[in-house]
Structure 1
Amino acid sequence: MKKVFLVMALAVSSLVATAQNFTNDKAHSKLGFSVSHLTISDVEGQFNDFTVHLSSFENQNVLGSKFHVVAEINSINTGIEARDNHLKSADFFDAAKNPRLEFQSKSIKKVKGNNYKLVGDLTLHGVTKSVTLDLIYNGSVDNQGVITYGFTVKGKLNRNDFGVGAGFPTAVVGDEVTLVSNLEFATPKAK
């Protein structure tokens, strides 16, 4: 009986060890966006304070993994302080009432090779909607005993779906917002 229990305990512990949970390496991750201005150029920005949790990532198998993103609206950075303050105001994100954006993945489907569709709920400006994003698994590398995994997430969303900048016409601020996020997750190599 003791042998059966020991074998079961070892089997369970090996399953737990293979499904890993990570938090993004903040020094090598970016959560960025761009939107057209006056229909003639794009303004780019990013959220400086954000966290991405990657869970159930097993043996570099992306399917079944979960992504959870939380970004602080007050960390928005377009390189111009006056514009950042305007974006934080009630005219756009209304950071006082809606201090963060959140994304929780629901499913990942393989497209081809290392390309996937990432579906999840995005909560922004107090509104939650399902969005579909492109997810690319860039692989892994052993960096002096630390295994690092890389992902790129891209997508487009309509700011009007979330009520962001509702008082500004498309000719001033484009409706379509392009998202680009580069993420690294690292873990010490198993001995």
Structure 2
Amino acid sequence: MTGLTARIRNGENWPVPEAVLTVTDSTGRQIGRAVADNTGAVATGSLPPGLHTAVLTAPGYQPVARTAQVSAAGAGSLGDITLVAVAETVALPPAGTWTIDPVHSTVIATARHLGISSIKARFAEVGGRIDIAAPFERSTGYAEIKAACIDTGIAMRDDHLRSADFLDVERYPLISFTGRGMRRTGSDTWVMPGELSLHGQRRAIDLDLTYGGFGPDPWGGVRAAFHAETVLRRDDFAIDYNAMVRAGVAAVGTTVKLDLDIQVVQGEQLPPM
């Protein structure tokens, strides 16, 4: 095998996927770069022989530098490299089930209109749960939104958006997301990949999460807060442009941004308030 190889783990001996290995020569010129796979394995292409500098980086971890010896065949190995997590700015929530509080959670969909302004639709009825795991990267989540609760501030338009021309809430009453695992991107930011079900279509999406912390609430419970966002393409979910014209929202952009502000309560049931 040619190139420089390494296996990248964290302090708990879990792989660090998408860690980046960069190799520079004695002058500081970059001569190799590669990204770790899901097992934490990383390998560059063939490199010039000699002593080089290897730097391994990943979001949320302290960078590591090593001297790399590359043979005349253009190959070398760094072996196992352990990355140390950057000190958490906010403590992670305890493992277990956390239930979405619909009273203190909301979803906003934003689409560009005429390229100069935005149309916003609010979905107030959201439910579900997050199952926090240890390690946090193995956490999963499920959220569902009642499609009929869409609110753009104009009743006639909302009724049309609920109709078979658009969301068709009679046939597809729920919009749902199932998330599988977390991938750290910063000290308090993560990506949760998963599947979104909307208008009878299912698509793989990534939610960008910002974690706000956790603590006790006035009702005897413990709460945690997350902000999540993603961008969807209308075409991916069979949302017909002509139907949007009939609904009075012509010249809306092809993408829709979703922003979710979610509060979850520790346990499988919400406490009385």
Q: Shared topology, TM-score over 0.5?
A: yes
Q: CA deviation at 1:58?
A: 4.1
Asked whether the equivalents of residues 92 and 166 of structure 1 are also in contact (C-alpha less than 8 Å), the reply is no
Higher helix share: 1
Counterparts of 1:110 and 1:148, CA distance in 2? 21
Counterparts of 1:23 and 1:42, CA distance in 2? 32
Greater RCO between the two (CA within 8 Å, min separation 6)? 1
SS in 1 for 2:145: strand
Moved over 4 A (4+): 168-171
Q: Deviations over 1:39-75 (max 9, x none)?
A: 22111112122212111x147x642111111111111
Quick one: which of 246, 249, 258 aligns to 1:179? 258
User: What is the one-letter code of the residue matched to 2:209?
Assistant: L
Asked whether the equivalents of residues 195 and 203 of structure 2 are also in contact (C-alpha less than 8 Å), the reply is yes
Counterparts of 2:103 and 2:250, CA distance in 1? 36
Q: Which stretch of structure 1 is more off in the superposition, 107-116 or 160-169?
A: 160-169
1:44-123 pair list within 5 angstroms:
44-55=120-131, 57-58=132-133, 62-123=136-197
2:228 aligned partner: 153
Q: Which stretch of structure 1 is more off in the superposition, 77-86 or 88-97?
A: 88-97
Residues 187, 117 of structure 1: alpha-carbon distance in 2 compared, 3 angstrom cutoff: closer
1:19 aligned partner: 95
Asked whether the equivalents of residues 24 and 52 of structure 1 are also in contact (C-alpha less than 8 Å), the reply is yes
Identical-pair percentage: 28
Q: In the comparison of the two structures, how many residue pairs are matched? A: 169
Counterparts of 1:183 and 1:33, CA distance in 2? 14
Aligned: 1:39 with 2:115: yes
User: What is the one-letter code of the residue matched to 1:136?
Assistant: T
Counterparts of 1:178 and 1:42, CA distance in 2? 10
Q: Which runs of 5+ in 2 are unaligned?
A: 1-93, 268-273
